Amino acid sequence: MTYPTVWIIDKVLDLCRALLGEKVINRTDSVAVMVGGWGLYVVTILLFLGMLILGARAGNMELILYAIAVLPIGILLHWVAIKLLDTNERLIASTPTAIRSENFLNVVAVLLILVGVIGIPVTLVLGIIDAIAGNYSTLELVGQTALALYIGILALNPGRVNVRHSPEASIGQEAIGILTFALKALYKAVPLFFGIFIVVAGIMSFVLLIQSVADPGRAVGGVMNALYWYAIAALSPVLGYVLFLLFYIGIDVIRSILTLGAADKQEFASMDAAPAGGSAGGGQAAPKPAAKPAAQPAPQPAPKPAPKPAPKAEAPKGPSDDATQVDR
Q: Is 203 within the bounds of a domain?
A: yes
Q: What is the pLDDT of residue 38?
A: 95
Gap between the Cα atoms of 87 and 16, Å rounded: 28
Burial grade of 320 (CB within 10 A; 0-12, 13-18, 19 or more):
exposed
Angle subtended by helix axes 4-19 and 103-132, to nearest 10: 70
In a domain, 207, yes or no: yes
Beta strands in the chain, from DSSP E residues, in sequence order: 97-99, 163-165
Q: What is the pLDDT of residues 165-184, one digit of tens each?
A: 888 877 888 888 899 999 99
Tell me, yes or no, whether 165 lies in a domain.
yes
pTM over 0.85: no
CA count, 13 A, side-chain hemisphere, 166: 18
Contact yes or no for 230/43 (Cβ under 8 A) = yes
In a domain, 144, yes or no: yes
**Could you give the number of structural domains in the chain?**
1
Q: Which of 47-61, 169-183, 232-246, 295-309 has the lowest mean pLDDT?
A: 295-309
Residue 205 has pLDDT above 60, yes or no: yes
Is pLDDT at 316 greater than 70 in this prediction?
no
Evaluate whether residue 245 is within a structural domain.
Answer: yes
CA torsion through residues 239, 75, 82, 26, sign: positive
Domain region containing 84: 18-262
Asked if the structure places residue 133 within a domain, the reply is yes
Q: Judge whether 310 lies within some domain.
A: no
Question: 328 lies in a domain?
Answer: no
